Amino acid sequence: MITFIIRRLIATVFLLVLVSMITFAIFFLLPKLGGQTTYGLATEYVGRNPTRAAVLQVEQQLGLNQPVYLQYWHYLSAIVAGEHYSAGPQSVYCPPPCFGYSFKSQQPVWPQMTSDIPVTASLAIGAAVIWLCSGVTIGVISALKRGQIVDRLSMGIALAGVSLPIFFTGQIALALFSYKWAIFPSVQYVGITSNPLLWAKNLVLPWITLAFLYAALYARLTRAGMLETMGEDYIRTARAKGLPERNVIFKHALRAVLTPIVTIFGLDLGLLIGGAILTEITYSLHGLGWFTIQAIQNQDFPEIMGVVMLAAFFIVIANMVVDILYAVIDPRVRL
């Protein structure tokens, strides 16, 4: 078990390096292969209508005329050791972990992202708790009441949940609960440490909006898994022992159903912490998703690269956690 975790950790580090290579290649190698000159690349970092001398200076300062592998090495070493950037006349120090310096916003990328992580994390984790609890509960009830009104109703709602996009349900929720009835008038992020109650209250609408989509998915997954599991031989064995039906369902059946659910849950959560773009935009929450969109709209390469790396990091970590967790919950996974 310990060796498995260590092996998995080492593999994760390699995977992250690989992700960084691919990301770097996309931003710095592909333009070159596409015929873009380093001069053309450098113009992206300078303001509008730059002089030729200014562009050449930027090209020199950013090392864009260096070979790509050298640039990549600088990028990696900056993450570990920090880097000095010359922005205009003065030099700016970007402390480690330095994911580059945004010349458009005149700041290092990392502190901008770290300030956005709590917003997205609050949104994603809160919604995850809601969708996991409600989705699994609804799925179990639907499976047990298969074909009855409860089942048809909840599966109908689940179909709506899967089909309706967040920018639609989010707007409806805002229109009803924020403007018409003013139950949750302001959707503004407040740090959990400064005011936990307000933090939760302001996030209720985004949570429910995001959770609605995922709860629908999870309800359908749970229902399908439950229906399959209830026909398994070991469920019949559990009944043959004289086990009360609620134990058969909640101990024996749910145990088997939850294993794949936990896997998907970990991956979904990892994906969302890297940015819940639609929900953040709908509710104007300045999280990583919002940051991503801003960076893309501004064509801010260092910021885009930084957020891609961060999102990839969360997904890779989520994968690792799921792998380790799976080994714990499924005894058949031999390490």
Chain residues binding other proteins by CB under 8 A are 232-234, 236-245, 252, 255-256, 259, 329-332
Q: For the stretch 169-204, what's the b/e string if a residue is b when 16 or more beta carbons lie within 10 angstroms of its beta carbon? A: bbeebbeebbeeeeebeebebbebeeeeeebebbbb
In angstroms, what is the minimal distance from the CB of 265 to other proteins?
A: 17
Asked if 109 and 101 count as a contact pair (C-beta separation under 8 A), the reply is yes
Kindly give the interhelix angle for 109-144 and 149-163, rounded to the nearest 10 degrees. Answer: 160
> Quick one: 48 or 332, whose CB is closer to other proteins?
332
Asked if 286 and 119 count as a contact pair (C-beta separation under 8 A), the reply is yes
In angstroms, what is the minimal distance from the CB of 318 to other proteins?
A: 23
Question: What is the spatial distance between Cα 178 and Cα 239, in angstroms, rounded to a whole number?
Answer: 50
> Quick one: 76 or 256, whose CB is closer to other proteins?
256
To 5 degrees, how large is the angle CA 18–CA 1–CA 311? Answer: 30
Tokens, residue 88: 């205009």
> Quick one: 230 or 307, whose CB is closer to other proteins?
230
> Quick one: 67 or 331, whose CB is closer to other proteins?
331
> Quick one: 30 or 245, whose CB is closer to other proteins?
245
In angstroms, what is the minimal distance from the CB of 239 to other proteins?
A: 6
Asked if 282 and 170 count as a contact pair (C-beta separation under 8 A), the reply is yes
> Quick one: 257 or 273, whose CB is closer to other proteins?
257
Torsion angle defined by CA atoms of residues 201, 207, 208 and 210, in that order, rounded to the nearest 10 degrees: 160
> Quick one: 84 or 255, whose CB is closer to other proteins?
255
In angstroms, what is the minimal distance from the CB of 245 to other proteins?
A: 8
End-to-end Cα separation, the chain, in angstroms: 6
In angstroms, what is the minimal distance from the CB of 236 to other proteins?
A: 6
> Quick one: 44 or 330, whose CB is closer to other proteins?
330
Query: Which residue, among 223, 246, 234, has the nearest Cα to 155 in the 3D structure?
Result: 223
In angstroms, what is the minimal distance from the CB of 172 to other proteins?
A: 40
In angstroms, what is the minimal distance from the CB of 178 to other proteins?
A: 45
Contacts of 259 (CB under 8 A, 6+ apart): 326, 329, 330
What is the DSSP pairing of strand 90-94 with strand 107-108? unpaired
Give the CB-side neighbour count of residue 257, counting CA atoms within 13 A: 30
| Cis peptide, bond prior to residue 97, ω within 30 of zero | yes
Query: Which residue, among 245, 182, 172, has the nearest Cα to 209 in the 3D structure?
Result: 172
In angstroms, what is the minimal distance from the CB of 3 to other proteins?
A: 19
